Amino acid sequence: MNKTLLTLLLATPLVQAAQVQPQPPVQAAPPQAAPSQPQVPATPAESPELRAQILLDRAHFSAGQIDGQYGSNMKHALLGFQKSRGLAATGKLDPQTLAALEDRQPVLATYSITDADVQGPYRPVPESMADKAKLPALGFASIDEALGERFHASPKLLRELNPGKDFNRVGEQIIVPNVHAAGPIPPAARIVVDESDRTLSLVDTAGKVVAQFPASTGSEHDPLPIGEWKINGVGRNPDYRYNPELFWDAKPGEGKAMIKPGPNNPVGVVWMDLSKEHYGIHGTPEPGMIGKTESHGCIRLTNWDAAKVADMVGPGFPVILQD
């Protein structure tokens, strides 16, 4: 966040990836399976776009929030994947790309709602920074939002996949994207952020892109600082210090505020501090807007993509910002 001071807390993220471990299709569910153990649904209702988005997520060429719709983020994800595999760079779902994406694992799984899912706690997130500062944590506003973040999906998509299902009933079985079947990201040597297509890429020593994520990358008022920088450090679940004097779009009468950690914190669940003062790579409370809206100069990713990148970097890691 441009010209924003952050207190970095090196703590465990509030958002933990659910360990989805689908089983091969069987005639009947194993008697010993725990209620919360995800399994492959018998009749997955998947569109080609939804299937591709889940496979892209597992291949670490993210289309951002999974919604089953072909849009700009999905186009750039396909382009990045195609280039990395030496395929024709069309940005379209062609047979060769789908074949290269195939990892022989189900794209959908079933998940049983747990008591912890239902209990939350959940509370509405206020608009103003002053009201946000009154909360002990910036957690999820609803179970739909929490499940969407866990499975990298829009709440709307989850509802469409589960008509008539009660997300607030413990034991309810719902269909979810099987995003947690991904393998590890290959080692990377640098980060490259490209303003032209609003992506952040992890690149290896040979110059090959091994992962790519959609990003919001600045604005006319707060442009991306083009150049070569380094990661100073990584803070998980950071507090956020808001100073309206540093924001051109601050509302009249706003004062300074300290915002507590959580997935709805203005910088999400992780902050990667750059050697360019006041700039960083971070998460977001609005995953559906990544790659579609502007930022205050920083590089903004979905919380789950930011967490992936944070796992790959450390102090001194090179970052190239280009247009």
Give the pLDDT of residue 129.
86
Q: Note the pLDDT tens digit of each residue in 235-278.
A: 999 998 875 666 555 677 676 778 899 999 999 999 999 999 88
Query: Do the bridges between strand 209-214 and strand 270-274 make them parallel or antiparallel, or are there none, so unpaired?
Result: unpaired
Give the pLDDT of residue 181.
92
Give the pLDDT of residue 10.
29
The rounded radius of gyration (Å) of the Cα atoms in the chain is 20
Give the pLDDT of residue 258.
85
Q: Note the pLDDT tens digit of each residue in 14-47.
A: 333 333 434 333 233 333 344 444 554 433 457 9
Percent residues over pLDDT 70 in the chain = 80
Give the pLDDT of residue 256.
72
Smallest CA-to-CA distance from 46 within 103, 109, 94 is with 109
Active site residues: 282, 298
Categorize the per-residue pLDDT at 94 as very low, low, confident or very high, splitting at 50, 70 and 90: very high
Q: Note the pLDDT tens digit of each residue in 130-170.
A: 899 999 999 999 999 999 999 999 999 999 999 999 999 99
Q: What is the rounded average pLDDT of the residues 281-291?
A: 93
Q: What is the rounded average pLDDT of the residues 105-131?
A: 94
Which amino acid makes up residue 10? L
Give the pLDDT of residue 298.
86
Residue 283 · residue 154 · CB < 8 Å: no
Q: Note the pLDDT tens digit of each residue in 46-81.
A: 799 999 999 999 999 999 999 999 999 999 999 999
Give the pLDDT of residue 246.
61
pLDDT at 220 over 50: yes
- Per DSSP, the chain holds a count of helices (H) and strands (E) of 8, 13
Residue 152 · residue 304 · CB < 8 Å: yes
Report the run of H or E that residue 310 belongs to, with start and end: helix 303-312
Q: What is the rounded average pLDDT of the residues 201-229?
A: 90
pLDDT at 13 over 90: no
Residue 86 · residue 107 · CB < 8 Å: no
- The contacts of residue 297 (CB under 8 Å, 6+ apart) are 1, 2, 3, 218, 219, 222, 223, 224, 225, 278, 279
Categorize the per-residue pLDDT at 291 as very low, low, confident or very high, splitting at 50, 70 and 90: confident
Return the bridge partners of 29, or none.
none
Give the pLDDT of residue 218.
64
The single residue listed with the structure tokens 């957690």 is 139
Main-chain dihedrals φ then ψ at residue 162, nearest 5 degrees: -135, 60
Q: What is the mean pLDDT of the chain?
A: 85
The single residue listed with the structure tokens 């008509």 is 163
Return the bridge partners of 61, or none.
212
- 139-148, 183-192, 296-305 — which is least confidently predicted? 296-305
DSSP letter for each residue of 221-256: SS----EEEEEEEEEES-EEEE-GGG-TTPPTT---
**Token reading at 116:** 């912890």
Residue 271 · residue 280 · CB < 8 Å: yes
Residue 281 · residue 6 · CB < 8 Å: no
Percent residues over pLDDT 90 in the chain = 71
Main-chain dihedrals φ then ψ at residue 110, nearest 5 degrees: -100, 145
Return the bridge partners of 239, or none.
7
- 25-39, 192-206, 209-223, 224-238 — which is least confidently predicted? 25-39
